Amino acid sequence: MNLIRRAAVAGGLTLGAAAGLVAAGVQQAAAAPNFQMPFPCGYTATAATFSGHNPPNSVDFQKSGITGDTVVAAAAGTVTRVAETAPGTSYGKWIEIGHGGGWTTRYAHLSAQSVKVGQKVGLGTKIGAAGATGGVSGPHLHFEENHNGATQKAVLNGVRVPYYGHTGFTSKNRCGGNPHSPEEVCGSGSSVIDHHALGKAGTVYLTYNASSGQNCVVTLKATQLNKKTAASAHIQPKGGSAHTDSGSYGYYAGPVRVKAPHTCVKWGGSLGSATWTSPYQHCD
C-alpha cells in the first residue's frame, strides 16, 4: 500500500486529503511504548518539569538521598548509547535505549552505568544508578521520552506528567509481576546481554559478567507465580558440555552458569510447552 493510501486508511480521509497531508509532511507517529517510571516498583519521587528545560519536555526526578538509587529501563529495548560528557557539562554519565518505531529514552546525570551498547534490556532491568554527574546543581535523574529525535511530553504508565510543575509519582515498573530479576538471580556484576520471550509464560535471559567471564541463563516466569510448574534453563559453550537446570519452580529456573569468555554459547529455556534454544552466538 503506498504512502498516500496508508495515510487515508489510517486517518479515515479521502485519497485527495491524504495526499495533501503527505505532501505537507504529516505522517502518523508510531505508537509509544507503555513507558514506566525509571525506578523499581514502589519507588516514589517528584517529577519536575519546567519552562526552559533543555531539551524541552524532559523530566527531572528529584528525591532526597537519590544518589546511588537504582535506575531501571522504562520499557524493553536495546541500549544505543552509554556515554559521558566532560566534567561539569551537560548529561554527565548517560544512557540511551532504543525501543523501536523511532522511540528512545535517555537517562542522565548517573553515578554509575551498568549496561553496554548493543545490550538488550527488559522492562525494569537495572541500567545504572542516579547521581549528580555533568552540569547539575544537585542530584537527580534527568529523563527523556524521544520520538524521532524530538523530546515528547512524558507519559508514565498511561498518565501524562503535568507541565509545568512538581508532581509526586510512585513507580509501577514491573509491579505485580515476578519479583526477581535476571541480574539478581545470576549475581552481582551480571548484565543482561540477550533475552527471548516464551510466549506469555515468561522470558529466558542470558547474562554476562565481564569481570569473571561468566555466562548465566535464567528463565523467569510471568504467570502462575508461586505455583510450581515445569521450567528449565540451559547453556552450552561451543566445544564444551551442556549445563541444565530443570524441574518444577514457582518463580524461575536456573541460574545455570558457565565460564566462557570469548566463546560462542548456545542457550535457552522452557516454561511448560513453550521452549526455545538459540544457535551458537555471542562469541566476543
pLDDT single digits (tens) 3-28: 333 333 333 434 344 344 333 333 34
How long is the chain? 284
Total of domains in the chain? 2
Would you say residue 22 lies in a domain?
A: no
pLDDT-wise least confident of 90-104, 186-200, 232-246, 269-283:
186-200
Q: Give the whole-angstrom CA distance, residue 11 versus residue 188.
A: 50
- Are the C-beta atoms of residues 95 and 127 closer than 8 Å to each other? yes
Q: Give the whole-angstrom CA distance, residue 55 versus residue 231.
A: 46
Would you say residue 231 lies in a domain?
A: yes
What pLDDT does 30 receive?
Answer: 62
Which pTM was predicted? 0.64
Q: Quote the cell numbers at residue 133.
A: 554527574
The distance of Cα 144 from the centroid of its chain, to the nearest Å, equals: 14
CATH for 120: 2.70.70.10
Would you say residue 176 lies in a domain?
A: no
Are 159 and 227 members of one domain? no
What pLDDT does 130 receive?
Answer: 98
Mean per-residue pLDDT, 153-166: 95
Mean per-residue pLDDT, 60-85: 96
Domain boundary among 123, 148, 170: 170
Are 214 and 155 members of one domain? no
Would you say residue 263 lies in a domain?
A: yes
- Whether the pLDDT of residue 127 is over 70: the answer is yes
- Whether the pLDDT of residue 191 is over 60: the answer is yes
Are 104 and 158 members of one domain? yes
Q: Determine the Cα angle at 70 with ends 69 and 76, to 5°.
A: 155
Q: At what angle do helices 3-11 and 15-23 cross, to 10 degrees?
A: 110
Domain boundary among 170, 190, 223: 170
| Pairing of the two strands 103-113 and 126-130 | antiparallel
Mean per-residue pLDDT, 44-66: 96
Would you say residue 19 lies in a domain?
A: no
The distance of Cα 19 from the centroid of its chain, to the nearest Å, equals: 37
Three-state secondary structure call for residue 64? coil
Torsion sign across C-alpha atoms 234, 235, 240, 243:
negative
Are 159 and 189 members of one domain? no
Count of helix runs (H) and strand runs (E) in the chain: 3, 21
Domain boundary among 110, 139, 170: 170
What pLDDT does 151 receive?
Answer: 97
Residue 225: domain span: 182-277
Are 216 and 130 members of one domain? no
The runs of H, that is alpha helices, within the chain are: 3-11, 15-23, 182-186
Query: What are the tens digits of pLDDT across the range 231-272?
Result: 999 999 999 999 999 999 999 999 999 999 999 999 999 999
- Whether the pLDDT of residue 133 is over 80: the answer is yes
Would you say residue 253 lies in a domain?
A: yes
Ramachandran angles phi, psi of 42, nearest 5°: 90, -10
Are 166 and 50 members of one domain? yes
Would you say residue 35 lies in a domain?
A: no
Neighbours of 274 (CB within 10 A): 16
Are 158 and 78 members of one domain? yes
Closest CA to 104 of 70, 83, 73, 142: 73
Q: Give the whole-angstrom CA distance, residue 60 versus residue 140.
A: 6
Torsion from C-alpha of 116, 117, 123, 128, nearest 10 degrees: 40
